[in-house]
Amino acid sequence: MTTSDNLSAIEKAPNRIQGMVRSIDQYRNSDPKAIADGSFAQVLYALTDYKHDVLVLWEFAVSEARKAEAMEREIAEKDAEIARLRGLIRDNGTPRFNAVCERAENAEACLRDFMEAHRTGTGLLDCMDNSGGRYTSRFLADAIVRARTLLNGGSDAQG
């Protein structure tokens, strides 16, 4: 933020903060010499108002500083969370995604084998998956056909 940005922000600021006795224009236009040359009551009222308004401004400044600190902490927490998520994606996302895709491709290949065994009635055909487990194709093909039939609105009646 440049000095001119700061000045335009100041110019756009309200004339008085809630709780102030006098406006900024009243302070700008006041003449300390005229106040000092005035009566004792005039000096007393001016000093009382100044003291009150300085305390109001101080409380406002402290409040705004606390808000800024809280925002900075929140931003730091969000940045840390973003970094953590980026790390998870970097460390696990792509390899895990690739592994899932590979398993899906293997499952599709096994499904084709199972369906072919079921369609042709060729009996037992084993298909290996990534974990090394073996499944009897005829049993799985029958289960898959039943599941598809059910999903398509058919019945699971075994005839």
What is the per-residue pLDDT across 41-87, written as a single tens digit (0 to 9) for each?
999 999 999 999 999 999 999 999 999 999 999 999 998 988 888 88
The answer to whether residue 157 sits within a structural domain is no
Q: Is position 132 within any domain?
A: yes
In-domain check, residue 141: yes
Is the model's pLDDT at 98 over the cut of 60?
yes
Helices 94-120 & 137-151, crossing angle to 10 degrees? Answer: 100
Q: Mean pLDDT across the chain, nearest whole number? A: 74
pTM above 0.85, yes or no: no
Instruction: Identify the helix (H) or strand (E) that includes residue 143.
Output: helix 137-151
Q: Is residue 14 part of a domain?
A: yes
Does position 89 have pLDDT exceeding 60, yes or no? yes
Domain for residue 109, yes or no? Answer: yes
What pLDDT, on a 0 to 100 scale, did the predictor assign at position 88?
A: 74
Q: Which domain holds residue 127?
A: 3-151
Distance CA 20, CA 117 (A): 88
The answer to the question of residue 79 being in a domain is: yes
Contact indicator for 125, 113 with CB cutoff of 8 Å: yes
Task: Look at residue 11 and tell me if it is in a domain.
Answer: yes
Q: What pLDDT is recorded for position 69?
A: 92
pLDDT band at 91 (very low <50, low <70, confident <90, very high): confident
Q: What is the pLDDT of residues 105-125, one digit of tens each?
A: 777 776 777 667 666 665 544
Domain count across the chain? 1
Q: Specify if 159 maps to a domain.
A: no
Structure token pair of residue 60: 């406002």
**Burial degree of 110 (CB within 10 A; 0-12, 13-18, 19+):** buried
Residue 125's identity, in one-letter code, is L
